[in-house]
């Protein structure tokens, strides 16, 4: 409504509202590293205003072997089935063929005579179904597919366009969202190893990330500052195929495993001289470590008689045990830089959960701190004595389950419960002053509440030793002989209970421990 009597014209006006954009997406450019690169950790700076529950950021990554993460498709002539397009008055259906959507050029659009003939014979043959044509496409060498793919400019000229879709042949799918563990302070942005390991496969030449912003409140928002990721070139190998054997074990019982890594070394890759293996529990011993050369020579070191308490343990000839933690070991090896070289490691440890994966990474100390992941596959025939390696795939072939160890799923979620030492003397002389309640939790993937409580022989509670959530693992909870008030208990026998509160009910173990002075 105009409040003036003067003549006027409206040139422009602005409208403001109190709404907000609930979702937004940022897609990075494709990073070209020039050659296949190893990817390390990802980290970023993040700031939140308003209620942090009402806004969030999700970051995903993907990697590829060619520069285009999407594929442009056209309508091919082969059929992949029939669909109903209409129904007549009499109830008779009219069916139409569903034509396959293909990412390669039409034969008439291919300039090279040999490539045109390849398309006509291998991909456009009248006898091929749509599924068979697509399968034949995926089996072509990467360099041929790159010459035959429909470009964005060519796609724009097509009359019968197909969908633009993610290229899942040459690119990995988008990773799951990275957790908040990737958020760092500004001073840590340049710190190697901070943040989260990149989940997308490497070595790969091309890399891309996506950031999804979400807000569920007008005054709530999350912002992304800087984002950093680590990379290292050259790659250590084209592929490192790993296998653990045996792949069945008794729950909670030490088993001697053999871990093998088959190196597929290329002309531009660097090889490796360290191997880090993740284990569910601390290894109890390490046996033979061998490097099998392609010419038949074997270099080896035997650590079976060596203590792992004082590290590093060196065996000469480039072999050494550098580190042993509660969840892994790190080995120094002679340089492994020949194609089809094989590394074999023997070690003893226990498995507590069905489907435990023994992941590993290889490192080259001369290249950098970014390692290359070991991929599950058939690395070698690892059968020994009465144990037969059941692999049927060819050596070097990927087998997704070959780094996974299975154990029997038992009703006993608590095992190996004991007090060590069973009798102790908490008199302050630093000798046998405390005991520890040991126990293993088996086949528990999500955290559950575990209580440890001590009682006198009359059944009175004297000490609540622990009440926290835990998953499968091996635990030792110390007791110094004091009660809940901090006073040393009187000499005698005491009872302890370890209670695991699972969804299926409580699993309770009872034991005794003695206190003397």
Query: 414-515: which CATH topology?
Result: Immunoglobulin-like (2.60.40)
Q: Are 80 and 131 in contact (CB under 8 A)?
A: yes
What mean pLDDT is predicted for residues 434-450? 93
Rg of the chain, C-alpha, whole Å: 31
**Would you state the pLDDT for residue 84?**
47
What confidence tier does 10 reach under pLDDT thresholds 50, 70, 90?
Answer: confident
Q: What is the mean pLDDT of residues 132-136?
A: 89
Query: Per-residue confidence at 92, pLDDT binned at 50, 70, 90?
Result: low
pLDDT at 215 over 60: yes
Cα–Cα distances (Å) from 71 to 74, 150, 312, in that order, read 10, 7, 51
Distance of CA 82 to the CA centre of its chain: 40
Please compute the mean of the pLDDT values over residues 50-54 and round it to a whole number: 92
The answer for residues whose C-beta is within 8 angstroms of residue 357's C-beta and 6 or more apart is 278, 403, 404
Helices (H), 95-141: 113-118, 130-138
What pLDDT score was predicted for residue 98?
Answer: 74
Give 76's pLDDT tier (boundaries 50, 70, 90).
confident
pLDDT value, residue 94 = 58
Quick check: 351 pLDDT over 80?
A: yes
* Averaged pLDDT, 438-462: 93
For residues 304 and 285, the answer to whether their CB atoms sit within 8 Å is yes
Q: Cα separation of 61 and 207, whole Å?
A: 7
Q: Average pLDDT, stretch 17-32?
A: 91
Q: What average pLDDT does the segment 135-156 reach? A: 90
Give span(s): CATH 2.60.40.4070, the chain: 414-515
Q: State yes or no: pLDDT of 464 exceeds 90.
A: yes
Residue 95: band (very low, low, confident or very high) from pLDDT cuts 50, 70, 90 = low
- And the tokens for 281? 């529990």
- Average pLDDT on 163-177 reads 93
Q: What is the pLDDT of residues 468-479, one digit of tens each?
A: 999 999 999 999
- Read off the pLDDT band of 445 (50, 70, 90): confident
Residue 430 pLDDT: 86
Residue 125 confidence (pLDDT): 85
Confidence of residue 96 (pLDDT cuts 50, 70, 90): low
Tokens standing for residue 93: 């259906």
What's the whole-model pTM score?
A: 0.79
> Which percentage of the chain shows pLDDT scores above 70?
96
Distance, CA of 455 to CA of 403 (rounded, Å): 44
* CATH for the 239-407 domain, from 2.60.40, 1.20.120, 2.30.29, 1.10.10: 2.60.40
> Rounded CA gap, 75 and 270, in Å?
44
Please write the tens of the pLDDT for every residue from 217-255: 988 999 999 999 999 999 999 999 999 999 999 988 999
């Amino acid at each position: 409504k105009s409040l003036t009597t003067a003549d006027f014209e409206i040139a422009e006006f602005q409208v403001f509202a109190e709404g907000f954009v609930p979702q937004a997406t940022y897609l990075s450019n494709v990073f070209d590293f020039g050659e296949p690169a190893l990817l390390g950790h990802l980290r970023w700076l993040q700031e939140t205003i308003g209620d942090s529950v009402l806004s969030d950021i999700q970051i995903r990554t993907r990697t590829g072997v060619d520069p285009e993460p999407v594929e442009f498709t056209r309508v091919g002539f082969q059929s992949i089935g029939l669909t109903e397009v209409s129904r007549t008055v009499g109830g008779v259906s009219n069916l139409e063929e569903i034509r396959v959507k293909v990412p390669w050029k039409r034969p008439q659009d291919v300039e090279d005579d040999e490539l045109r003939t390849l398309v006509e014979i291998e991909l456009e043959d009248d006898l091929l179904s749509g599924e068979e044509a697509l399968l034949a496409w995926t089996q072509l060498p990467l360099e041929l597919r790159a010459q035959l793919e429909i470009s964005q400019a060519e796609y724009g000229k097509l009359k019968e366009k197909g969908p633009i879709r993610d290229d899942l042949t040459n690119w990995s799918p988008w990773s799951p969202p990275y957790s908040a563990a990737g958020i760092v302070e500004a001073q840590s942005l340049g710190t190697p190893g901070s943040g989260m390991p990149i989940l997308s496969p490497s070595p790969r030449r091309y890399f891309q990330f996506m950031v999804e912003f979400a807000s569920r409140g007008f005054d709530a928002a999350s912002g992304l500052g800087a984002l950093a990721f680590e990379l290292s070139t050259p790659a250590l190998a084209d592929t490192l195929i790993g296998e653990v054997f045996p792949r069945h074990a008794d729950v909670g019982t030490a088993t001697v495993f053999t871990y093998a890594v088959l190196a597929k070394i290329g002309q531009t890759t660097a090889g490796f001289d360290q191997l880090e293996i993740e284990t569910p529990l601390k290894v109890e011993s390490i046996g033979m470590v061998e490097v099998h050369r392609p010419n038949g020579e074997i270099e080896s070191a035997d650590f079976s008689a060596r203590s792992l308490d004082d590290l590093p343990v060196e065996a000469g000839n480039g072999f050494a045990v550098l580190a042993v933690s509660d969840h892994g070991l790190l080995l120094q090896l002679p340089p492994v830089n020949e194609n089809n070289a094989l590394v074999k490691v023997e070690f003893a440890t226990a498995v507590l959960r069905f489907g435990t994966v023994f992941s590993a990474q290889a490192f080259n100390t001369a290249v950098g701190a970014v390692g290359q992941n070991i991929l599950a596959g058939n690395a070698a025939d690892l059968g020994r004595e009465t144990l037969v390696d059941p692999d049927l795939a060819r050596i070097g072939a990927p087998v997704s389950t070959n780094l996974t160890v299975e154990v029997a799923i038992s009703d006993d979620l608590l095992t190996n419960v004991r007090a060590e030492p069973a009798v102790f003397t908490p008199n302050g002389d630093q000798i046998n002053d405390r005991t520890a309640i040991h126990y293993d939790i088996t086949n528990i993937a999500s955290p559950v509440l575990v209580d440890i409580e001590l009682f006198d022989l009359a059944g009175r509670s004297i000490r609540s030793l622990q009440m926290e959530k835990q998953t499968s693992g091996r635990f030792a909870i110390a007791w110094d002989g004091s009660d809940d008030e901090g006073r040393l208990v009187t000499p005698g026998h005491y009872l302890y209970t370890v209670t695991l509160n699972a969804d299926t009910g409580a699993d309770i173990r009872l034991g005794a421990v003695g206190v003397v002075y």
